[in-house]
Structure 1
Amino acid sequence: MSRIGLAPIAVPSGVEIKINGQDVEVKGSKGTQTVVIPEPITVAVEDNEIKVSRPDDERKSRALHGLSRSLVNNAVVGVTEGYTIKMEIFGVGYRVQQKGKDLEFALGYSHPILIKAPEGITFAVDGATKLSVSGIDKQKVGQIAANIRRLRKDDPYKGKGIRYEGEQVRRKVGKTGK
């Protein structure tokens, strides 16, 4: 049984927490993020720690307890340190370049693909084959990185495509001739 929800969240200096009903607003040096906590769960700030508690031991309450604690912790880490996902592009002629705040990809299609930066997300391009997605919202950063990866998933035969930095792609052996 997981006990993630029972662990208190340490509030670093420079982080402000405001609780308004089921909304928890976390304000830090990198920005502000609001987390909506599901109904049976309660959040309290005591002695520079955030404590998430549940009213009973029902199955749904136990599940939401750990989830709520993780969401609040992700918000605290996001407004203090931020989140970054680094990606690499492999393939002849595959490249990325920054156009203002947006990214333009050349991935072997007949047209370039433009990805617009949503609010709170910043892109950084290092050379023509490396990029990073940064922001304070862990969910949004991960979703944008997944959307970029989906543009041209790694090919298991040739190894071409977009992948996360350090990701190992399982290679397959092609057909052998007669």
Structure 2
Amino acid sequence: MLRNIRKRLILALLALLPGLVHAQEPDALTSVGATDQGALALEMESKHKHHGHGYQRVQGVVELREPELEAGRTITKLEVTFDFDCKSRQVRTVQTTRRTWSGEYAGTTYSREAWRPPVADAEARALRLVCLAPEASPSDAPAPARSSPPPRRSGPQVIMMPKGSSPKP
């Protein structure tokens, strides 16, 4: 009985803290600079080659200079997913998640905007930072290709022996 009371009390206290369940602690952020919306920082730990398509995908956070009111909530932070193409020196935004000051989720927008040159000085610095940052360790690199590919088989191979015959030694 005491256990149930304690459990309900803890749940009630957690319910009083808005956004606690949905708030996510970001990885260590690397400050990049100011954009027209606010201060941009990148989570460099999130950097990865996206499905081998030749570009880097990195999570970023924009702390809004001027909070925005949306559906009765005050949005203070944007979590943005960027793609950086280091060869063509271009960038695009893939996804933007809006959060309140307490970390409460307020919505996500997806976009597949066209590749473009960096718009703000902060985006240009982010591009340089992402493209000059050390790549994954050599142990993460794919194994070198073999001289000849393995034979292809369409499915499981079963060898049937006639009844009454045994393999010859």
TM-score, with normalisation over the residues of structure 1? 0.23
Larger Rg: 1 or 2? 2
